[in-house]
Structure 1
Amino acid sequence: MKTIAAVVENYIETKPFLLNALAQGIINLTSLSRNMLPDLQQELGKDVKQGAIVMALKRLSEDLDFRMNHKIVKVLKNIGEITVRSSLVDYTFAVSDTILNKQADLIADIKNYTDIFYTSSRGVSETNIVISESVSQLVDKHFVGEKLLHKFENLASITVKLPKDNVSTPGVYYFIFQRLAWEGIIINEVISTSFEFTILVSDEEVDLAFKVIKDLKSI
């Protein structure tokens, strides 16, 4: 038998932005319960008192405050070095039988450049290359004949080192990207390893994105 508390929690958990706002105590529970009332009554198949929803939300918000803030904040306070690189170009090519050989040629060409940014990743049908603008002509040179799907210029990267317990703490990436979304920051690419991630944003937004991430250490 479904309980009001279980249905309320399920409702909140399907709405990530609402979930975080509730955990932070920045939402009016009475107004929220009024909006939730028709959906909850339909799911439970009976009339539900608004006060019961408010009580369920109050208990849930207190529990969420512990589950989300105490675990995630602990990770965020231990964020390591934050590195910013500017003047980057982002290429996306269609995967082909020849593209790996061309990547190898590119890497051989840039291996003696000591102060450039380069990373690549491969999906099912696309290969992505991010490289410093100063050597981007080498991509144009080596990838002649490959199908270019997208090319974005005037980008900057922010690389963040995370503590090792980030891999066992749910919601860390969500929390970070939610804060960036709240500021209206558009993320062109996300590149990650186990203990660090890199985002690509426009040069115009990099200062704000850096501030958002840096401020996470003091929440």
Structure 2
Amino acid sequence: MVTIPQAVEMVVKVKPFLSEALSDGLINISALARKIKPDIEKIISKEAKHGAIVMALNRLSPQVNFSINKSIDKMRTMLGDIIVRSDLTDCTFRNSKTLIRCHMKVIESIAENPDIFYTLVRGVHESNLVITSYYSELVDKFFEKEELIYKTENLSAITVKLHENNSRIPGFYYYILKSVAWEGINITEVISTTNEFTILVNDEDVDRAFSELKKMKRPGKLYNI
């Protein structure tokens, strides 16, 4: 049988930003207890007393604070240089038997210019392509017979170089994405390799997004995390 403390922990863990706000003392515990009471009762399949939920939240807060601070400290040591590339175009195509051939034609055309930003990520049903806008005509040319699902321009890429052990930290990417989301910045695409993590944002948001990511490397308390 699930206890009230266990149910409270389950609810807090799945609520975006709730655990961090709780650890920072930014939430009225009594009001939160009333808010999550229906969720708690659904999990334990019986009525839960308000006081019991409050007590469980108070006990959970120090644990959350320790876990979060420990993860953040580890994460900071794994953030390397932050690189910004602007004026990009993002295209999404339906997967086909000829899509890779189109991709190879673009690669051959830009092979002599290493400064061009170009990525292709193949999913189950569609593939996403990001290229420096100046060369987007190559995509129009070589992918003209492919099914274009989505296209947007005026984007910027922010790439964070990571430590080789980044994948061993639970929630590592969550902290990066959350720092941007808290500022109301829309992330249009996410591109990841083993030691690099890239987000695409609108050109008008790139300065704010860069500023937030840079804050993550500074010592001291991260109020937006």
> Is TM more than 0.5 here?
yes
Q: Does 1:187 align with 2:187?
A: yes
* % same residue: 49
Q: Does 1:116 align with 2:116?
A: yes
Q: Deviating runs (4+, > 4 A) in structure 1? A: none
Structure 2 distance, partners of 1:150, 1:39, is 38
Match of 1:212 in 2: 212
> Does structure 2 conserve the Cα–Cα contact (< 8 Å) formed by 1:90 and 1:152?
yes
Match of 1:160 in 2: 160
> Does structure 1 conserve the Cα–Cα contact (< 8 Å) formed by 2:78 and 2:166?
no
> Does structure 1 conserve the Cα–Cα contact (< 8 Å) formed by 2:20 and 2:65?
no
> Does structure 2 conserve the Cα–Cα contact (< 8 Å) formed by 1:4 and 1:52?
yes
Structure 1 distance, partners of 2:45, 2:135, is 64
Unaligned runs of 5+ in 1: none
Matches within 5 A, 1:30-179: 30-179=30-179
* Cα drift, residue 46 of structure 1: 4.9
Q: Does 1:20 align with 2:17?
A: no
Deviates most, 190-199 or 11-20: 11-20
Structure 2 distance, partners of 1:8, 1:164, is 35
Q: C-alpha root-mean-square deviation of aligned residues, in Å?
A: 1.7
* Cα drift, residue 85 of structure 1: 0.3
* Cα drift, residue 22 of structure 1: 1.5
* Cα drift, residue 104 of structure 1: 0.8
Encode CA deviations 1:47-104: one digit per residue, 9 max, x unaligned.
5443322221111110011112212332134410000000111111111111111111
* Cα drift, residue 14 of structure 1: 2.3
Structure 1 distance, partners of 2:39, 2:124, is 39
Give SS of 1:217's match: coil
Unaligned runs of 5+ in 2: none
